[in-house]
A = this chain, B = another copy of it.
């Protein structure tokens, strides 16, 4: 049996499991414990917005050989049963006395030797989605087995997207492309930013997003202050630069890119900043290659910005993308992750126009052997203006 599956054919998940098991063997791991929405989705195809409820932990155990085992709340049995894996063990959660710890411990114990090393993602950009006190109980129950860092095992596999995954991300990008095209219809002078955010989300849904996990942006005279704030009720005003950024989701896969618009005539310094960001992205699209490090990408973008006479904005200048809005690596001076063929990445240079006013430009790419292939439709080379 086991051929029922969601989102992708079962073969996709079997290949992922085999790749994980190969990495686990390289790292001397006898099992891998996964607890977060993207990791569970990656291995099983279990896709639900029910993760929004923090009430219950969910566990997937990838053994050294054989199919993964799901140890999950009973409420998820029906949906997990439509995925490709057959071994699904459930408990009635939330249980204040034993919220899956015994069932998980018994499961892990039954498929690993006594001296096993259990991999757990515990490094940068990870967290453990279960109560800390329950994890301590699990560790005690599983002794003399030990938990070891499984971050590399899951990251080295997940970061290389299959062509089927690339097509999902391309589809999410196309939805955002179409929604950005419609922004001039509703982002008019006098319209409050909060309404612009709502209309933009409506446009994303109408263009085919299953849901909209992320919309942020900003609007201010000649630039904006930050890129993570929710909207306020200030109306758009001629001279503003409006930025919208989205992570729209289709079949569980994200896009993540932004677009900028001038309300009325674009101020000269904003036009120059936009041109510098466009030119900088062109340089990265031309030069990025597999084998470079994440910090090399940061340097290419920073050097290009400086060559354009722009002041680089702070923070990372790009990152991974796929099952979450952002994935590793990060284009910072410190990240030495190797960029590999098949990685889906954002190019996200930012400039500071004056202190407190920034402009950020973002594209999504898949890294091919001969360089980046765009997944988002290229932003216009000149800052677009929205006139009444």
Interface residues, chain A, CB within 8 Å of chain B?
A: 36, 38, 47-50, 52-55, 57, 74-76, 78-79, 92, 94-97, 99, 120, 122-133, 135, 149, 194, 197-198, 201-202, 205-206, 209-216, 225-231, 247, 314-316, 319, 324-326, 328, 330, 332, 334-336
Contacts and interface: CB of A to CB of B under 8 A. Distances in A.
A332 B130 CA distance: 20
B74 A314 contact: yes
Contacts of A335: 94, 96
A348 B8 CA distance: 33
Nearest to A324: B54
Nearest to A198: B205
Contacts of A315: 74-75, 92
Given A52-B214, A95-B332, A127-B129, 10 more contacts: A36-B54, A53-B214, A76-B228, A94-B316, A96-B335, A123-B133, A127-B132, A198-B205, A201-B211, A210-B231
Contact of A215 (B53, B94, B211, B324): B211
Given A74-B315, A228-B75, A124 B149 contact: no
B230 A55 contact: no
Contact of A226 (B75, B128, B314, B330): B75
A79 B230 CA distance: 9
